[in-house]
Structure 1
Amino acid sequence: MKTALPVLCTLLLGACTSTASVGYSPYLEPIPGSITYGGQPRTKLTKAPIGSTFSHQFRDPFGRQVHETYMIAPDRSLLLVRRRYRDLFGFDDD
């Protein structure tokens, strides 16, 4: 019984963390129109402070307006941190 309790706790904790992360990814994948789609840009943002953010807007192939937020990483690459969609009628996804 003493060995079964830690095993049971481990299984329950593992189930909680695995079900909470289904459908969620901390890293967004770039889509066509994203600045980082097809890889990082050739030029680096050398004057922008590390950790600063900026936004980028474009339309996806379905006609929705996409608002993306990028952050400048310590190696001066761009990290996509947020994406919001606005449909054809102007309603947000939030």
Structure 2
Amino acid sequence: MNRLALATATAALLALTACTTPGTSSGAAGSSVAPIPGSITYGGQPQTKLTKSPIGSTFPHRFRAPDGREWSETYRIAPDRSLDLISRREIELDVENNR
């Protein structure tokens, strides 16, 4: 095997390893988005599982936090049927135009 082919194979192997290493999922333990009051996963995973939704599918969740701010979150269904919080954004209401 020449050096270029070996380097390519090594890079591909490292990339695949990074995708499957335990602890690198975006689940509650390794999530970059921490749940806040009002999040579905705030206080832990829900008791019920979404059994009919495909693994990897996403869905939105919109809520108003106790401080009155409104949020939109996106969740992904993990292979173990738990929910991964993958993004959150604040919804800014245009009070001027809603009168």
Among residues 63, 73, 83, which one is paired with 2:78 in the alignment?
Answer: 73
Greater helix share, 1 or 2? Answer: 2
Among residues 43, 47, 52, which one is paired with 1:47 in the alignment?
Answer: 52
Deviations 1:26-81 (A, max 9, x none): 62110000000000000111110000000001011222210000000001000000
Percent of pairs with identical residues: 65
Runs (4+) off by over 6 Å = none
**TM-score, normalising length from structure 2?**
0.61
Q: Unmatched 5+ residue regions in structure 2?
A: 1-29
Whole-Å Cα distance in 1 between the matches of residues 76 and 50 of structure 2? 11
Alignment match, 1:10: none
Matched residue pairs, number? 66
**TM-score, normalising length from structure 1?**
0.64
RMSD over aligned Cα, in angstroms?
1.8
Whole-Å Cα distance in 2 between the matches of residues 88 and 49 of structure 1? 33
